[in-house]
A and B are shown apart, each in its own frame.
Chain A
């Protein structure tokens, strides 16, 4: 459930640190259908140099954007820095519990819930287990916002600065 209790505020400094620090992202709920938002985000982030490993039981064994899709995070044979959750808010709970159980084995440091996905209880469990948790944000949109691309579409980046903006690629 979405819990509208407290507004979620993350500092741009923290979001930038996470986005510049992680390289391999497991995307839970990645869709093979190219018009789905998860498919868009996957392709965009690949273009920015991230390795995205799709997780989707319904598409396990298929190849999405040249990456093999797995049924669960546990099945991923490689190290993963961050898990990006493209599922409903209630479903995020089970995914976070799975992440907690495999975090040290896989090297997972960050759990990121997509725009519209928020589960405060699960987030607290993740944080207690030493994970950094972001909710209700999209890494594609945040990347675009912080590195200047989102403003190209007239979106308010919220950034006021007289420093020359550096584009990350």
Chain B
């Protein structure tokens, strides 16, 4: 738990990750005593009177107005994610992509820039490089292997740095602490996509990150049922220090001149993201999806432990297979990222990684079509094992050079290792590679 609190007045006790994945944010329902979090499947909430209504609309009182902004089931998930990341507050969205959009909307004006690692999920590269550009938000992509590349790309207009600590799909681990030091020096927030590592494997705020985004669709829900995303703030970023963030520190015309950083202090960014971003663009998470995600999150610690164990065994198997040219899994001692993995992901390098098939594109197509247990689809972080050929699917929209830079060349296969019997998964890959 955050060091700020001492719940029982008996000295601070930090509850463990396992306890918090089950309990954070979900005390029993105050009215009914329901132990599990109810699904509040409602669009709107009655006001006590006109005064109460205006207090709520003015953000002078805490309470529910409309489920586009807040919903009691979604709120439990938000608090749980904020807690697991040791953050101050979180806001959920309809997908990881929606979360990323909201995270940047609270920071950028047209003409502003941000710097992103070029090793990102292909969908993020397209979102940042093509669609954001149409809004006047300019992304500079850099090779994250040398943290200095981020410093070199800084300009007066740079408002944030964005990285995946464990990058999809290439298994690259970036030097989080070094990049955080550069963003801190520049007075801009470091945004980390923690989707593939999850708070169980990596705690980006401990290394100096300021904002974390998630696709909850992946390991957090874990069961491949529910789309969702989240934006989490550490509560430690000083928005006023350099006068770089008028969206946070100057009266907001979208909210009758309210100043978010001043009014809401260390959760001002979350309030801004919710009450302006979510309100005006509308990508809210549904209560049912929040419920399924909460169900999944209760076992996050158990699942991720096994995901990692299975992934390492499969990576070792592939590493010794004659049809395979290379395996990029930071859990392997031979990986160039092993040292960074030991620092940032001591409990494991996740379960999404890539490998190269010696005979190239056509052999990759044969492999994804010959497996029996692995599912050929475009998702990661499911209980089921998944296989994908990025060059012909998720990264198809990119140029050859972008594909290569993103670790998604034509000979590359991506696995998301699930929770099946590991011997069965190895058997399945082996027969498909013959």
Shortest B7–chain A CB gap in Å is 5
Given A150-B62, A154-B90, A162–B4 Cβ distance below 8 Å? no
Query: Which of B29, B70, B267 counts the most A-chain CB atoms under 10 A from its CB?
Result: B267
B373 within 8 A of A: no
Inter-subunit contact B8/A11 (CB<8 Å):
yes
- Contact residues of B: prevailing secondary structure: loop
- CA–CA, A157 and B89, complex, Å: 9
- CA–CA, A47 and B28, complex, Å: 25
Q: Which residues of B contact A149 (CB under 8 A)?
A: 62-63
Inter-subunit contact A158/B63 (CB<8 Å):
no
B423 within 8 A of A: no
- CA–CA, A37 and B28, complex, Å: 32
A121 within 8 A of B: no
Given A152-B62, A152-B64, A160-B23, A138–B91 Cβ distance below 8 Å? no
- CA–CA, A162 and B9, complex, Å: 17
- Set B12, B91, B256, B263: member contacting A154, Cβ < 8 A: B91
Inter-subunit contact B28/A151 (CB<8 Å):
no
Could you tell me which residues of chain B, from 82 to 113, have a CB within 8 Å of some CB in chain A?
A: 82-83, 87-92
B135 within 8 A of A: no
- CA–CA, A144 and B270, complex, Å: 16
Sampled A-B contacts (18; CB under 8 Å): A11-B7, A35-B251, A37-B262, A115-B265, A148-B30, A149-B62, A153-B62, A153-B89, A153-B270, A153-B271, A154-B92, A155-B270, A156-B79, A158-B2, A159-B27, A161-B23, A162-B27, A167-B30
A23 within 8 A of B: no
Shortest A64–chain B CB gap in Å is 13
Count of chain A residues near B, Cβ 8 A: 40
Q: Which residues of A contact B29 (CB under 8 A)?
A: 164
Inter-subunit contact B8/A151 (CB<8 Å):
no
Q: Which residues of B contact A10 (CB under 8 A)?
A: 6
B178 within 8 A of A: no
- Set A9, A43, A160: member contacting B55, Cβ < 8 A: A43
Could you tell me which residues of chain B, from 1 to 41, have a CB within 8 Å of some CB in chain A?
A: 1-10, 12, 15, 19-20, 23-25, 27-30, 33, 35
Could you tell me which residues of chain A, from 127 to 169, have a CB within 8 Å of some CB in chain B?
A: 138, 141, 144, 148-167
Inter-subunit contact B27/A156 (CB<8 Å):
no
- Set A44, A151, A164, A165: member contacting B60, Cβ < 8 A: A44
B residues at A contact (CB < 8 Å): 1-10, 12, 15, 19-20, 23-25, 27-30, 33, 35, 55, 58-64, 70, 72, 75-76, 78-79, 82-83, 87-92, 251, 256-259, 262-263, 265-267, 270-271, 274
- Set A154, A160, A164: member contacting B270, Cβ < 8 A: A154
Q: Which residues of A contact B60 (CB under 8 A)?
A: 40, 43-44
Given A153-B62, A156-B87, A160-B15, A9–B274 Cβ distance below 8 Å? no
* Complex interface bits, A1-34 against B, C-beta within 8 A gives 1, otherwise 0: 0000001111111100000000000000000001
- Set A40, A152, A155: member contacting B63, Cβ < 8 A: A152
Given A12-B5, A35-B251, A160-B19, A154–B265 Cβ distance below 8 Å? no
Q: Which residues of B contact A159 (CB under 8 A)?
A: 5, 7, 27
Shortest A162–chain B CB gap in Å is 7
- CA–CA, A124 and B299, complex, Å: 47
Q: Which residues of A contact B258 (CB under 8 A)?
A: 35
Q: Which residues of B contact A116 (CB under 8 A)?
A: 265
Inter-subunit contact A153/B70 (CB<8 Å):
yes
